[in-house]
Structures are given as structure tokens and as C-alpha cells.
């Protein structure tokens, strides 16, 4: 793997449930690269196909995480070695089931107009979508997934992954939180936001200006969408997911619009 020069990665985890289609749409419009999660036991489901079509429409480069390989019959956890090695060291019955289910998933992807191959068999990353077998439970293949995401980001997106001091942000969600009032979850892609800033948001009745009262982030390894105690900051620089509290009309803010 080449030396990594990218400054870091901000990963937006959008819910997979079909009722969260608007949130997935907002996430896909923001991202430089995507990881599409496919359940190896069920193949492409309706919400997976919907996400696939969003990425195709926006011409967003992506890789596929073929998840839940730990559910394969008699799978032996080997999360300290490359997943290709882990697969080769499984029993024959496990390898056969892996091949059958992977072939079925690749066929379903082809039926949706895309060519895909396992990442260690991929002859051309520009012609074929890379598929990485992983397990979110056991950790098998996760190092391969992150390594490939970093490598492809650096190869394909190099000039885009440079910090700019011009504000670029989007509203992901608007919600009321006890003790904080109506808050806005924002993905800060470039620039910075600090307490006391004047920001312009899109509202139901048109654009409006308001003053940022607090800039909050979740504690490390905690989700923005789950109710937690938050860390308050004077200033936050991109790229980061943040929650802001402001003075006026926050309940009228429209999600999916730029800041």
C-alpha cells in the first residue's frame, strides 16, 4: 500500500432501514466516496438498490462491504490477518458457502448495471467495483476495508481532499432535545464554525440569519443521533459532524440544505 497523505476521513453512517431514505439521500449528496453495505446472507435489499441508484446518479465512487461473513456456517474468526487469508483457512464447507453467496451478490449487482469483483481479484478499480468481505461483529476484513478506502481516496480524490477556509456545510437533521431546545445537526465539510457566528439557514418561510449559541460534538465513539452528553467547543474546524444551538427560528430549518 502506498504512503498515506490524506489528512483523515470523516465517515457518515446513514441508517439502512428503508424509512430513512431522505437521510441517505442527504448523506450521499455530501460524500466524496461511499461504502455500500450488503448483507451476504440476504443480498441486495430494496434500500440497498435505492442507495446504489443514488450513488450511480451522483457518479460517486464507492466500494462494497459484503457484511456478516461471521454468519457463514462454521466461520472461524481470524480478525488479525487479511480477509483473503482468513477465507482460505476456513473449512471447505465454509468456503463453498462463501463462494455461493458471494457469486449471488455479484450477480445481483450485475443485474443493476455494475460490474463488481472481490477486491483481491479486481484487475481494474476503475472498471470494477471492489467488494470487501467483512464482519461488523468479529472485525474480520475491517482493516482491509479501511485500507482500501484510504488507498482509493488518495488515488481518485487527491486534489479534493484539501482543507479550504471557505465554509461548506449541510444540515442533516433538525430535532428538539430536552435542555437544549431545537438543535441542528450539521456536516461541516470545509471551513469552521464558532460560538457567536452569524449563519444563514434555509427555512420553511425562506432563508433566515441566526447567531450560533453553542457548538457541540458527541463524545468519542458515541453517535450524534443518539441522545448523549455533548462536548461544547468554542470553535470547530472541518471536517466534522457537529450539533449547533442558535437563538431564533431553529424549528423552521429545512434539512438537506446548505449553511
| Residues labelled as active-site residues | 17
Pairwise CA distance, residues 2 & 151, whole Å = 7
Whose CA is closest to 27, among 16, 14, 17, 38? 14
Helix H or strand E segment including 104? helix 92-111
- DSSP result, 206-225: EEEEEEEEEEEEEPTT--SS
Pairwise CA distance, residues 58 & 38, whole Å = 20
The total number of residues shown for the chain amounts to: 259
Helix H or strand E segment including 133? strand 129-133
Instruction: Tell me 202's DSSP state.
Output: E
Q: Please say whether the dihedral angle defined by the alpha carbons of residues 36, 168, 172 and 258, taken in this order, is positive or negative.
A: negative
Pairwise CA distance, residues 119 & 133, whole Å = 9
Question: Collapsing DSSP states into helix, strand and coil, what is residue 16?
Answer: coil
Amino acid at each position: 500500500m502506498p504512503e498515506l497523505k490524506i489528512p483523515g476521513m470523516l465517515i457518515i453512517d446513514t441508517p439502512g432501514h428503508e424509512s430513512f431514505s431522505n437521510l441517505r439521500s442527504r448523506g450521499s449528496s455530501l460524500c466524496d466516496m461511499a461504502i455500500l453495505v450488503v448483507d451476504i446472507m440476504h443480498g441486495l435489499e430494496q434500500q440497498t438498490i435505492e442507495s446504489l441508484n443514488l450513488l450511480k446518479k451522483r457518479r460517486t465512487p464507492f466500494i462494497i462491504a459484503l457484511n456478516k461473513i461471521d454468519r457463514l456456517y462454521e466461520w472461524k474468526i481470524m480478525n488479525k490477518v487479511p480477509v483473503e487469508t482468513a477465507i482460505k483457512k476456513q473449512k471447505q464447507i465454509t468456503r463453498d458457502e462463501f463462494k455461493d453467496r458471494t457469486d449471488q451478490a455479484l450477480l445481483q449487482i450485475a443485474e443493476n448495471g455494475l460490474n463488481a469483483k472481490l477486491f483481491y481479484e479486481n484487475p481494474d478499480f476503475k472498471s470494477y467495483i471492489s467488494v470487501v468481505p467483512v464482519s461488523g461483529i468479529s472485525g474480520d476484513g475491517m482493516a482491509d476495508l479501511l485500507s482500501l478506502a484510504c488507498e482509493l481516496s488518495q488515488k481518485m480524490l487527491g486534489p479534493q481532499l484539501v482543507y479550504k477556509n471557505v465554509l461548506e456545510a449541510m444540515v442533516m437533521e433538525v430535532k428538539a432535545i430536552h435542555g437544549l431546545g431545537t438543535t441542528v445537526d450539521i456536516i461541516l465539510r470545509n471551513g469552521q464554525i464558532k460560538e457567536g457566528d452569524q449563519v444563514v439557514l434555509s427555512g420553511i418561510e425562506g432563508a433566515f440569519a441566526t447567531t450560533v449559541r453553542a457548538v457541540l460534538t458527541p463524545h468519542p465513539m458515541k453517535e450524534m443521533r443518539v441522545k448523549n452528553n455533548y462536548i461544547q467547543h468554542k470553535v470547530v474546524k472541518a471536517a466534522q459532524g457537529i450539533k449547533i444551538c442558535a437563538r431564533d427560528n431553529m424549528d423552521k430549518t429545512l434539512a438537506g440544505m446548505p449553511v
